[in-house]
Amino acid sequence: MYASHPARLTAGGSASKEAPGYLSTGIDGYVARIGGTPFLRLARLAGGLDHVELWAKAEFMNPSGSVKDRAAWAMVRDGLARGLLGNGRILLDASSGNTAVAYAHLGARLGFGVELCLPRTVSPERLDRLRRLGAQVVPTDPLEGTDGAQTEADRRAREWPEVYFYPDQYRNPWNPRAHYETTGPEIWEQSEGRVTHWVAGIGTGGTLTGTGRYLRERNATISIVGVEPDRPLHGIEGLKHLPTARVPSVYDPVLVDRTVRVTTEEAVAMQRRLAREEGLLVGRSSGASVAGALKVAGSLAGGVVVTVLADRGDP
């Protein structure tokens, strides 16, 4: 499963010349299920708040189980359309987990090889899932987190440019654009334009930025709030402590009004509350986003706070 050199890899197949046009029509049943997720009111969690509603996008209901399906598919579709993916080229990227899974599902579905640089802290269960989907994994220093994984992906892409399609989710404009074109409009419609605060965890920053940009264009008074861990070494997979991490270029700090910090313990506790009080088995980053959103909601006299349940509670 572990790859040290691309010569060891074989692509799972090649996309036909008709693939980009065919897939962009939404005919393929798998990609057609990406997006359009339910909008859930978290009434019990917000039960003690007067005149404030707390809602969440159920992104764990995307095909691979996370919000990352949206950006992964947008970047893959762009690569196919430009002829950079398919015909034996391997998709290469760095990830903390969810984007890796999304890529692996798409690679297996559409017939291209996938190689992923991930920190060694990724769970054995997730590694097994990637293996069963046919993806190759390059383990990186866990102390360097996703920054180290990105450094290794950068190196490989430079050294073997003829082998790889490197979408680079931390810099690719299709990451936030996917949310600008889909997540933002969905939230605006599902909230009936009543959303007053958009709160989301900061990983690549694509979900927060792309969705926030669309909502701000619809209503300039909407507040955009990022959620990040309270310290560099934390247990909230998928989120970055921006003061000590490489800030992704897709993240727009000018757009973000403020940042709320959440401890790992708060994220875990909220993950458990979501299961027991709302019947939602979600991941730790979802717990962090909801914990941050509840902090925002608790400071308001009124409003509609929207956040994201980014992934399932899979290992």
The catalytic residues are 68, 285
The identity of residue 10, as a single letter, is T
Of the candidates 153, 258, 190, the one whose C-alpha atom is nearest the C-alpha of residue 39 is 190
Helix (H, G, I), strand (E, B) or coil at 84: coil
Residue labelled with tokens 């572990």 = 2
Asked if 250 contacts 270 with a C-beta cutoff of 8 angstroms, the reply is: no
Compute how many other C-beta atoms are within 10 angstroms of the C-beta atom of residue 123.
12
Angle at 143 between CA 69 and CA 307, to 5 degrees: 35
How many CA atoms within 13 Å lie on the side-chain side of 16?
5
What DSSP character marks residue 86? S
- Amino acid of residue 130: L
Stretch (H or E) spanning 230: none
Give CA–CA dist 127/242, Å, rounded.
26
Q: What are phi and psi of 92, to 5 degrees?
A: -120, 135
The answer to whether the beta carbons of residues 176 and 283 sit under 8 Å apart is no
**Calpha distance 184→309 (Å, rounded):** 15
- Which token pair is 1? 């499963």
Amino acid at 80: L
Alpha helices in 82-123 (DSSP H): 98-110
Nearest residue to 93 (alpha-carbon basis) of 175, 26, 24, 207:
175
